[in-house]
Structure 1
Amino acid sequence: MIDDRLLGRARRLWVGLAGVPVVFKDWAVDVTVSPGSLLCPAGWVGIVGLGNAVIATAPDEDAAEIVRRALSDLPVIALIDAVAVGGRLPVAEVLGPATLAYCEIAGFRPIASRAVEVVRADGSDVEGLLTRVPAEDAAESGLVEITSPAFVVRAGLDVVAAAGYRMWPGSTAHVSVLTVPAVRGRGLARVAATAAVTHALEAGLMPQWRARPQASRRVARALGFRELGSQLSVRLLPAGAAEGVDTLARLG
């Protein structure tokens, strides 16, 4: 059963990120125009589902109308499914979906450990970790963007796992975690993340865990995060290209 208080707080966050009035309506999608939306990259369509409701932003009215016509009769669960959305919209590129999970003190399941050290987020320890992981893993983690201290676990002198968070609007702590591939599966991500989430909760913040990889989602669930929804970003084809795709589809 979804905690209505936590769900409401998460929804208020994403309504604020939309940048314009938009409403999570039960079993429906509310599409609005917002060129400055933070639900997605600039110029894209952003779709966020939380609980049984979805909001979407589009860069202009033409794109918004395309989205309304294409998605209005889809089941809510399909609105953040890349395949289902791609089957209805003239899609050029897709990011996600990423699962959105949240945590509060009552549900938090910390992993007790004395192995965590607190260091500067912009220091050599974190920089060294970033050089020892694949570039795509470093980018996915978002560790380079954290505004909190970094909470690290070492093997000898080297940092092999780290976590922290970036301050988002709405008193939200967007959590980032990264572990060296050679030591994954040993629980070090949970240890480092426990320290970061504890720091955020003690500051009165709402920890948010946004993830695509299943391994990352498992870490979040182990710590008591609750998956409340998903985020999907879509870049539409230009109008002329979209018409061409539609014509080919009809001819086919």
Structure 2
Amino acid sequence: MSVDPLLVRARGLWERLASVPVSFAPNGGVRVVVSAESGLCPAGWVGVVTLGGSAIVTAPSEDTAAMVHDALTGLPVEAVADADAVREVLSVARVLGPAALAYVSADGFRPVDPGLLTVERLPGEHQDLRGLEKLAGEEDTGEAGLEEITSPAFVVRQGGHVVAAAGYRVWPGRTAHISVLTAPAWRGRGLARTAGSATAAHALAADLLPQWRARVPASRRVALALGFRELGAQLSIELA
């Protein structure tokens, strides 16, 4: 059986973020572990990540892990990161996600020709990025997480103002977690694809694994256009 290097690297990242020894079952299935320090979800929540037909789940306590194990192992793997399916078997107060997890290799990357657009590089803390966040609004800004990037920001301007930007934060396992944000009035014009392409190219040149995590269909389409492959999903669950 051939091994998918992209899947191996992606799984290695989330196994490490679980903060306790756990691995994705090679033949599918759900593995539940106790991890109070899990990086799969907010503190005190249940974290679910599915990749390549297998899932790992972290719970904050033994009792919660036992309950979650009994509930989720009765579901098909593809359903354990489905908020509606999870609500059928667990008492849920809130969820974050699900978000698709997509990755790209150097061989699969499809860069975008910016054409007449100019992609400018700015420091990640540049004040012009904060101006874009004001245009985008609190919800979209929080979803993008542009303020967390550790790479340069790759931006597109119109009328002197930054209207689209992308960058990445270096995660464990040499992963580049990509953030993309476009001002509402400028969406649907390929600007996110242009900025995202420059960001992914920068990450690949540094031998990092680009990760695109997205809930919004438009963002997922941008990633797919750049050659990213959706390998799984992430869901965080706060139990009632």
After TM superposition, is the score higher than 0.5? yes
Matched residue, 1:108: 109
Cα distance in 1, alignment partners of residues 156 and 72 from structure 2: 45
Cα distance in 1, alignment partners of residues 126 and 12 from structure 2: 34
Matched residue, 1:240: none
Secondary structure of 1:105's aligned partner: coil
Matched residue, 1:72: 73
- State, as a whole percentage, how many aligned pairs show the same letter: 60
Matched residue, 1:176: 179
The one-letter amino acid paired with 1:33 is V
Name structure 2 gaps, 5 residues minimum: none
Deviations 1:118-158 (A, max 9, x none): 01111121111111112101111111111111100000210
Cα distance in 1, alignment partners of residues 118 and 225 from structure 2: 19
Q: Structure 1 residues 173 and 123, CA, compared in 2 at 3 Å: closer, same or farther?
A: same
Indicate the RMSD between aligned Cα atoms, in angstroms. 1.1
Matched residue, 2:199: 196
Secondary structure of 1:7's aligned partner: helix
Cα distance in 1, alignment partners of residues 94 and 183 from structure 2: 30
Cα distance in 1, alignment partners of residues 189 and 90 from structure 2: 42
Secondary structure of 1:80's aligned partner: coil
Cα distance in 2, alignment partners of residues 161 and 3 from structure 1: 37
10-19 vs 86-95, greater mean Cα deviation: 86-95
Matched residue, 2:14: 14
Matched residue, 1:49: 50
Secondary structure of 1:36's aligned partner: coil
2:132 counterpart of 1:122: no
Deviation at 1:3? Answer: 6.8
The one-letter amino acid paired with 1:40 is C
Cα distance in 2, alignment partners of residues 42 and 86 from structure 1: 20
Cα distance in 2, alignment partners of residues 132 and 48 from structure 1: 32
Deviations 1:2-39 (A, max 9, x none): 97110010000000000011121122100000000000
Deviation at 1:71? Answer: 1.3
Name structure 1 gaps, 5 residues minimum: 238-252
Structure having the higher helix fraction is 1
Cα distance in 2, alignment partners of residues 100 and 224 from structure 1: 13
Per the normalisation by structure 1, the TM-score is 0.92
Cα distance in 2, alignment partners of residues 27 and 199 from structure 1: 34
2:216 counterpart of 1:213: yes
Question: How do 1:222-237 residues align onto structure 2 when only pairs under 5 Å count?
Answer: 222-237=225-240
Per the normalisation by structure 2, the TM-score is 0.96
Cα distance in 2, alignment partners of residues 224 and 183 from structure 1: 23
